[in-house]
Chain A
Amino acid sequence: MSDMNTPLSKVRGLGSGKTGTETFISHRIQAVANIPLVIFFIVSFVGNAGKSHAEWIAWIKQPIVSVLLILFILNFTNHMRTGLQEVVEDYVHGHGNKWAATLAIRFSCALIAGLSVFSILRIAFGG
């Protein structure tokens, strides 16, 4: 016996769907998580409309606010990545184009998440 893998585990993800089911399900989970986070985002940004720099900083410094904002950003960037990926898979044709678009989506979503989360942490920890 050369390895301990079951035959099923060897072929999983090798079909034309690849890991499509996992992506589909996690996209829906992100969508459900986005419902309360978007409500929080809208309510708090309307409530703080027109505030000054110092007031915004003081608001974000609250632990619950910074945590919720970070969760919102991580969740929507992941939702955005899988969503845009789906659009690319439907409308962008050709192996090279598809990979170029996929890389652009991956990198820009990571950049958005990185910059936003760092900014919130910097404010929260008083930078």
Chain B
Amino acid sequence: MFCRSSIVARINLSIIVKRTLFIQAWFSDLISADFSLRGKFMAKAQRPLSPHLQVYRFGAHMAVSIIHRVTGSMLAFGAILLTWWLVALATGYEYFNMVQSFASSAIGRLVLFGITFALMQHFASGIRHLFMDSGKLYELKANTASAKFTFVFSAIMTLVIWAAAYKVMGAY
């Protein structure tokens, strides 16, 4: 009695398992979605990704976008230097002169030159972003031309600012 019922149960169980597997296979073929049962067993399935940066040809419009963020982060470092300089100015004559000697050293001037460029580039590409926020400069030619213009503007302005600063200091 006991033995027989167990055989029946085993047969019934195997039928249930087979049917379940069949239904699962059919179902997962049907929906074939990420959250189907098959996804759990095929964790490293190679799924197609939506096209991103790698499918586009690199251009000035892409460069200006990432450089806007890079220069913004550089200016955050510049803000720390400005704070240091203001604190030194408020602290007193001796400490201020020490900070000034740092700033006027070769490395200090190189850093300040870089920050000047970052400020001018962020300034120009920021104004370009304001135009884009108002719905302008989305045409391909205008977009690329304005992106290139920001680099020309920042290069020229950086040189003009440093030429003017040296002129004020009486270097020439």
Residues of chain A touching chain B, judged by Cβ–Cβ distance below 8 Å, are: 28, 31-32, 34-35, 38, 42, 46-50, 53-54, 56-57, 60, 76-77, 80, 83-84, 87, 112, 115-116, 118-120, 122-123, 127
List residues 89-138 of chain B with CB under 8 A from any CB of chain A. Answer: 89-90, 92-93, 96-97, 119, 123, 126-127, 129-130, 133
Cα of A48 to Cα of B127 in the assembled complex, Å: 27
Contact of A53 among B73, B75, B82, B89 (CB under 8 A): B89
Do A31 and B119 touch across chains, with their CB atoms under 8 A apart?
A: no
A-B contact pairs, 13 of them (CB 8 A): A35-B123, A46-B165, A48-B168, A53-B92, A57-B89, A76-B79, A80-B72, A84-B72, A84-B76, A115-B86, A115-B87, A116-B83, A122-B90
Do B86 and A46 touch across chains, with their CB atoms under 8 A apart?
A: no
Do B73 and A84 touch across chains, with their CB atoms under 8 A apart?
A: yes
Residues of B within 8 A of A53 (CB): 89, 92-93, 96-97
Contact of B169 among A38, A49, A118 (CB under 8 A): A49
Residues of A within 8 A of B80 (CB): 112
Residues of chain B touching chain A, judged by Cβ–Cβ distance below 8 Å, are: 69, 72-73, 75-76, 79-80, 82-83, 86-87, 89-90, 92-93, 96-97, 119, 123, 126-127, 129-130, 133, 161, 164-166, 168-170
What DSSP secondary structure best describes chain A's contact surface?
Answer: helix
Q: In the complex where A38-B123, A80-B76 touch, is A46 in contact with B130 (Cβ < 8 A)? A: no
A114: nearest chain-B partner, CB-CB: B83
Do A49 and B168 touch across chains, with their CB atoms under 8 A apart?
A: yes
B137 to chain A, nearest CB (A): 15
Residues of B within 8 A of A28 (CB): 130, 133
Do B89 and A56 touch across chains, with their CB atoms under 8 A apart?
A: yes
Q: In the complex where A28-B130, A31-B126, A57-B89 touch, is A116 in contact with B82 (Cβ < 8 A)? A: yes
A40 to chain B, nearest CB (A): 13
